[in-house]
Structure 1
Amino acid sequence: MSDSISIGLLVSLIIVAIGVMIVVKGLMIVRQSEAVVVERLGSFNRVLESGINIIIPFIEKPRSITMIRYEKRGDAYAAITSEETRIDRRETVMDFPGQPVVTTDNVTVRINGALYYTIVVPERAVYEVENMSQAVEVLAKTTLRSVVGKMELDRLFESRAEVNNQIQAAMEEPASKWGIKITRVEVQDIEMPEEVESAMRLQMAAERKRRATVTEAEGEKSAAIAKAQGQRESAILNAEGDKESAILRAQGENESISLVLSALGDDDEHKRTVVGYLLGQSYIKGLPDMAKNGERVFVPYESSALLGSMGMFREMAGTPEDAARATSALRQGMVGGAGGASGD
């Protein structure tokens, strides 16, 4: 009786132990932003989301996925491969090492890029591709070579954003078949051969020198234009001043003559004599300038008439004292007329 009780107790303990082991082994806690692909007897069964989940031990088993990550050691990158049963659904970055790429102008450059992706359908990432990380890496490299191979070197430096967008657009369709969403692609570093880099430095220096020369020439041109405009405006102002001065001088002389003629009254003969005298005086005043500006001075044939007019003016005045007074009156009349003209 006691033996049968002992055997029954032992069996019960064994069953309880097996039950506890099953519960412990079958209990799985999935953290936030993680997912677990579960197979039942080798076939896909379900995807475990975050929280407490129970699987049947020995019948259901989590399916692992291969992940490749790169770790920089010195100047080189080392690939680290791991098998993980918990699939991270957060955005993942893949910083793959530099790749040699040939541009359309036959320049070989080495481009180091970074790829950001997210696993949105875990079962596809497990079953649709053999090695998801490696597939994404190879796809990124081939797409990078295809896109950059259609560009020239100068455009590559100027259009990094365009290169990133083209690579991302080209990778979206094949990556979606694997349950992966490409969120962003970044071209980080572009390394060129030393001789190409030296040539680009020389080109940049020549371009800067050209810009400096153009800027200096434009400055000199602006200065010359400003100087010419200033000289032109100064000449215009001087000409206008000379014109106004000549007009005022002529007005003063006309007023002087008018005053003299009005003082003579209605005697036409005396008026003609005075006018001849004034014309002769103006001619005589101009002789020094004519002699200064030319080698010869021509005295007109009518000079005798001019002298006769001046003699007639003296006779008309009468005595020498009267002639002096007439001349003084004539000069005062001319001065007064010029003053009145300038006062206007």
Structure 2
Amino acid sequence: MMPTLSVLAIPIVVLLVAALKTFGINQEYERAVVFRLGRVKDPKGPGWYWLIPFVDRAVKVDTRTITLALDTQETVTRDGVAVRVNAVLWFRATNPTRVITVVENWQRAVLQAAETGLRDAIGQSDLDQLLKDRAVINQRLMGMLTKAVEQWGVLIDAVEVKDLDIPESMQRAIAREAEAIR
């Protein structure tokens, strides 16, 4: 009597586990991109969804806004001054299917594009413009990033230059010039 009970219990447990694995649940801010035998299906929104066991695979994408502090970038301005710049980036996934199928690691790709764009935007600006008009730099950087990442299904909400360090010798020269003007 005992061996038949265990023989029946094992398949029942396996079927129960397989049945539980066929359901997925997304939070309000998540979308699941479903692959059926390697082909993409429509993304599943918030709530529960059903997957065909051993046929479907789901990849979840977080659609909340991500805040990222860019690493300090050392670059040279258009007028030849070496500067160190920090920036903050806010972005989010708007098309979960494209985020998964077009780019391998979308968050890292956005980070790399932002760091490269930051160096380019600083390189196109004079030191005076960097010090006085950061809004123009932020807009230029936003345009560059939007153009780069929109094909990946990502939306750049905002990007801002946070901190600008210039060499001490340049700071002294600027102070002497300001003093001479006064």
TM-score normalised by L of structure 2: 0.89
State the alpha-carbon separation in 2 of the partners of residues 30 and 103 from structure 1: 46
Residue of structure 2 in register with 1:162 after alignment = 136
Q: Secondary structure at the match of 2:41?
A: strand
Question: Structure 1 residue 143: deviation in Å?
Answer: 1.7
Q: Deviations over 1:208-257 (max 9, x none)?
A: xx2xxxxxxxxxxxxxxxxxxxxxxxxxxxxxxxxxxxxxxxxxxxxxxx
Q: Does 1:30 align with 2:30?
A: no
Is 1:44 the counterpart of 2:40? The answer is: yes
Which residue is equivalent to 1:133? Answer: 107
Q: Is the 8 A contact 1:96 1:113 kept in 2?
A: yes
Post-superposition Cα deviations, 1:36-58, rounded to whole Å, max 9, x if no partner, equal 22222233233221111121232
Question: Alpha carbon RMSD of aligned pairs, Å?
Answer: 2.0
Query: What is the alpha-carbon distance in structure 2 between the residues aligned to residue 21 and residue 106 of structure 1?
Result: 65
1:148 paired with 2:122, answer yes
- Alignment correspondent of 1:88: 62
Q: Counterparts of 1:46-65 in structure 2 under 5 Å? A: 46-63=42-59
Gaps spanning 5+ residues in structure 2: where?
none
CA contact (8 A) 1:126 1:132 kept: yes
In 1, Cα distance between equivalents of 2:112 and 2:9 = 55
Partner of 2:74: 100
Matches within 5 A, 1:1-344: 13-63=9-59, 86-207=60-181, 210=182
- Structure 1: 5+ residue stretches without partners: 64-85, 211-344
Q: Which amino acid aligns with 2:86?
A: N
State whether residues 22 and 56 of structure 1, in contact with CA within 8 Å, keep that contact through their aligned partners in structure 2.
Answer: no
3-state SS of 2:70 partner: strand
Shift of 1:201: 2.1
The range that moved more, 132-141 or 186-195, is 132-141
Which amino acid in structure 1 is aligned with residue 41 of structure 2? N
- When the two structures are aligned, how many residues end up with a matched partner? 181
Which position in structure 2 is the counterpart of 1:318? none
Contact 1:35 1:89 in 2 (8 A): yes
Regions of 4+ moved over 4 Å: 9-15
Give SS of 2:136's match: helix
Instruction: Describe the SS at the equivalent of 1:100.
Output: strand
Instruction: Give the conservation status (yes or no) of the 8 Å contact 2:71–2:115.
Output: no
Letter in 1 for 2:21: K
1:161 CA displacement:
0.5
**Displacement of 1:144 after TM fit?**
1.8
CA drift at 1:157: 1.0
Counterpart secondary structure, 1:90: coil
Shift of 1:16: 3.3
State the SS of the aligned residue for 1:46: coil
Cα distance in 2 between the residues matched to 1:135 and 1:202: 43
Q: CA deviation at 1:14?
A: 4.5
* Distance apart, 1:176 and its partner CA: 1.0
- Residue pair 1:37, 1:62 contacting (<8 A) in 2 also: yes
Q: Counterpart of 1:113 in structure 2: which amino acid?
A: A
1:34–1:87: 8 Å Cα contact kept in structure 2? yes
Letter matched to residue 128 of structure 1: V
| TM, length-normalised to structure 1 | 0.49
1:7-47 CA-to-partner distances (Å, cap 9, x unmatched) read 6x767545533332122112221111111222222332332
Whose relative contact order is higher, 1 or 2, with alpha carbons under 8 Å and at least 6 apart? Answer: 2
CA contact (8 A) 2:31 2:46 kept: yes
Q: Which letter maps to 2:112?
A: V
